[in-house]
Amino acid sequence: MIRLSFRLQQGSFLLDIDQRLPAGITALYGPSGAGKTTVLDAIAGLRRPEAGTIAVRDRILYDSASRVQLPPHPRHVGYVPQDVALFPHMSVRRNVLYGRRPGQKLALETVASMLEVGGLLDRRVPDLSGGERQRVALARALMSAPELLLLDEPLAAVDVERRRRILPYLLRVRDELGIPVIYVSHDRGEIDQLSDSVLVLADGRVQS
């Protein structure tokens, strides 16, 4: 499903990964500085490896041998970073529709219903709670019709009760849309509840 086989150097830090990830939700777990966010950035096209290959299904996103380096937008990867970075001057509706890929078949009503943000579409971003912002950011990522969804500790700033409410939405993305997910978290309980497989990173390498 997803091939990650690349090396990426950042100063004295070297990320060296060679994995094939299955469908479903794969968790990246490990201490701070292990390279988890760097993996996501490389897949999304925000950082360029020194060598290797990144592919989703049959699409090559990066390949050093054939000099393929797709820019972020045509990679068709949805990325929800730690800072969800919604546009405060736009309504929720405009945020969700921002970056929608022409010709994609996923309807706003479908995504809004799945994540229960239909009642938020006409609200202002500054008026949203932390949990509502997370759901809106996820809805925006889904509206780009991604072939892969990257989530970088999306619940880190959300309290425990809101986390419990949001986790089922992530499972719905997997089960109802069939989009593979790579999920970074420091919370082992979240990982146990969400993930179909786990990669443990330490010092830029997969430990298990």
Residue 99: the pLDDT is: 77
- CATH number of domain containing 130: 3.40.50.300
What's the domain count of the chain?
A: 1
Residue 200: the pLDDT is: 94
Distance CA 68, CA 111 (A): 32
Predicted TM-score (pTM) of the model is: 0.89
Give CA 138 to chain center in angstroms. 9
Q: Enumerate residues 6+ apart whose C-beta is below 8 A from 109.
A: 118
Residue 5: the pLDDT is: 97
Sheet containing strand 181-184, strands side by side: 77-80, 148-152, 181-184, 25-29, 197-202, 205-206
Name the residue range of residue 118's domain.
Answer: 2-206
The pLDDT profile of the chain, 208 residues, written as one tens digit per residue, is: 899 999 999 999 999 999 999 889 999 999 989 999 999 999 999 999 999 999 998 899 999 999 999 999 899 999 988 777 899 999 999 999 987 877 677 788 888 888 889 999 999 999 998 888 888 998 899 888 899 999 998 777 667 776 777 788 788 888 888 889 999 988 888 888 889 999 999 999 999 6
Residue 198: the pLDDT is: 94
Residue 208: the pLDDT is: 66
Distance CA 156, CA 148 (A): 21
Distance CA 191, CA 105 (A): 30
